[in-house]
Each structure stands twice: as structure tokens, then as C-alpha cells.
Amino acid sequence: MNNRFVSTTSAHSRQLRKAAVVQQAGGFTLLEVIVALAITGFLLGGLFTLLAGSKQLSWRSEASLVRAINARAHINFALLENELNEVEQVVENDRYFVRPDEILEDPERKTQAMSFALETFEVVRDDRDEIITGTRWLQLEVAR
């Protein structure tokens, strides 16, 4: 009877070991799941922060590009426009306006009368306090 008791005890201990192995291989503990979710949350939070910053940067750069295109269009219009040439204004916004300035003085060593003169102009945007200055050729009615 003594042998039978030993074999029953060893069979019982084998069953307990099998149950322990099955229980360990069955899944993750609650603590492991919480740690994994916390790490995933930090990574996704950082990723979404980077994406939001990138989107804001693209919106700002687009707005800056639109302002530069509008300014350049008004500068081109100012270069082509003078009293003798009729240039149709194709720019649709009124943010910039062209303000003609004075005609520059003739050079000191002028050898011949010219029918062209240099005039300064300003392209102004009041709401942003932007002033872009330039010079353009004007065709005069009478050579001087």
C-alpha cells in the first residue's frame, strides 16, 4: 500500500505541474497588458502630435506662398502698367495696390534726348504694413 500511495502522489504532482504549465502559457497577466497599452498610448500620442504639427506647418507655408504669389502678381502688374500702355488687371484681390512715385532725375552725362524715363513705384499692403518698392520704365510723350 505504501507503493500505491507514492504512485498516486507522483501522479497528482504531475497533474499539478501540467496545470501550472498550461496556466502560464495561457496568456498575459493584467499588469503586462496595462504596460503594453501605456507604451502604445505614448507612441500614438507622439505620432499624432507630430502629424498635427506637420499639418499646421503645411497650412502656414501654403498661406505664405499665396501671399508671395499675390505680391509678385501686383509687382508684375506695376512693372507693365504706365500711362501710355493699357494693361488689364487680372489680379482678383484688393489687398495690394500700386502707388506711382516720382520720375528719377536724368543722368549727368546724357548725350541724347530720350523718350523713356525711370519712375519709382510702391506696391503697398496696408493691413500688414508691407511696402515693396521698385523702378519701372515709362514711355514719355515727348523726348527729354
Alpha carbon separation from 1 to 9, 13, 85, 136 (Å, rounded): 12, 18, 124, 120
Task: List, for residues 44-103, the tens digit of each pLDDT value.
Answer: 999 999 999 999 999 999 999 998 998 898 888 888 887 666 777 777 777 888 888 888
Residue 18 has pLDDT above 80, yes or no: no
Give me the pLDDT at residue 76, please.
Answer: 87
Residue 19 has pLDDT above 60, yes or no: yes
Sign of the CA dihedral 96, 101, 103, 107?
negative
In angstroms, the CA 28 to CA 34 distance is: 10
Model confidence band, residue 23 (pLDDT cutoffs 50, 70, 90)? low
Alpha carbon separation from 87 to 5, 57, 81 (Å, rounded): 113, 37, 6
Q: What percentage of the chain reaches a pLDDT higher than 90?
A: 33
Residue 10 has pLDDT above 80, yes or no: no
Residue 124 has pLDDT above 80, yes or no: yes
Give me the pLDDT at residue 89, please.
Answer: 75
Residue with cell 501654403: 62
The average pLDDT across 1-8 equals: 54
In angstroms, the CA 66 to CA 31 distance is: 53
